[in-house]
Structure 1
Amino acid sequence: MRWGDFVIIAAVLLAAAALAVFLAMQAAGDRLYAEIWKDGELTQRVALTPDTRETIDLDGHNTIVLDGLTARMAGADCRDQVCVRTGTLSRAGQAAVCLPNRVVLKLVGEKNEVDAIVS
């Protein structure tokens, strides 16, 4: 291997690290919300805090459990159960989708940005 090979390897590793940091910052936020979409419409948006304890029943078809800073699709009456087997969602950008019932549970992060400081 020549020194140019090491330069190329270092450049690729640096680019990969920069991309990882960028994607992590995009998904992270000061606040975490669970959004529940049914038939393409936002039906509920719940702020997740360490004290959040809520079970949401969607017309008997899907059951969503919000527990602290996590959310999961606990039950569904569809045949494949892919949404239930998705497991617990804990980071912004993750989602559980029930295609037969057209339900989407996703976690969204939101930054708390300061517009102005008044003294």
Structure 2
Amino acid sequence: MPQASSGKPLRFWLLLIGLIALACVAGLVTLSLHRQSGAMVQITQDGQVVGTYSLQQPRTLRYESQDGGYNIVVIADGKVRVSEASCPDQVCVRTGPTDQTASPIACLPNRLVIQVIDNGTSSQLDGVS
């Protein structure tokens, strides 16, 4: 007749899952504490910085990609957003406005990245740090 298990393996797995969950929560709290509003926006296309602008000066910018695509970038009310894009998925448009240094806007088809920075530097923690 088989013997009943003592429950030790179950307790081990529950403890392990609990520790992993605690580590995930601690990581999210750390990232949210380092999130801050920036003063500038840096726009990069094809890996090259193509513009750095103040979030305090409203403007509308158009960026053309080498394959004929485009993005319309709007800086208004201290935030930056992509209002229009030629890409089929529209992820950059749906991202919405941001003034947070830890929330870049990216349009991969047009190779455009919009990053809010603080006084010309980007020293924020990311998911890898």
Band of TM-score, shorter chain: 0.5 to 0.7
Match 1:36 to one of 35, 43, 46? 43
1:5 counterpart residue number:
none
Match 1:69 to one of 39, 60, 78? 78
1:48 counterpart residue number:
55
Distance across 1 between alignment mates of 2:115 and 2:108: 14
TM-score (norm 2): 0.61
TM-score (norm 1): 0.66
Count of aligned pairs between the two proteins: 97
Helix, strand or coil at the partner of 1:88 = coil
CA RMSD of aligned residues (A): 2.9
Distance across 1 between alignment mates of 2:83 and 2:96: 8
Moved over 4 A (4+): none
Are residues 1:78 and 2:87 paired?
A: yes
Shift in Å at residue 55 of structure 1?
0.1
Identity of aligned residues (%): 30
Helix, strand or coil at the partner of 1:85 = helix
Unaligned runs of 5+ in 2: 1-21, 121-129
Give the AA of the match of 1:82: V
Shift in Å at residue 68 of structure 1?
2.5
Match 2:115 to one of 98, 106, 110? 106
Query: Which structure is higher in strand share?
Result: 1
Shift in Å at residue 25 of structure 1?
5.6
2:63 counterpart residue number:
58
Distance across 1 between alignment mates of 2:119 and 2:31: 14
Check 1:25–1:33 CA distance in 2 against 1; reply closer, same or farther (3 A cut).
Answer: farther
Give the AA of the match of 1:57: R
Shift in Å at residue 26 of structure 1?
3.5
Unaligned runs of 5+ in 1: 1-11, 112-119
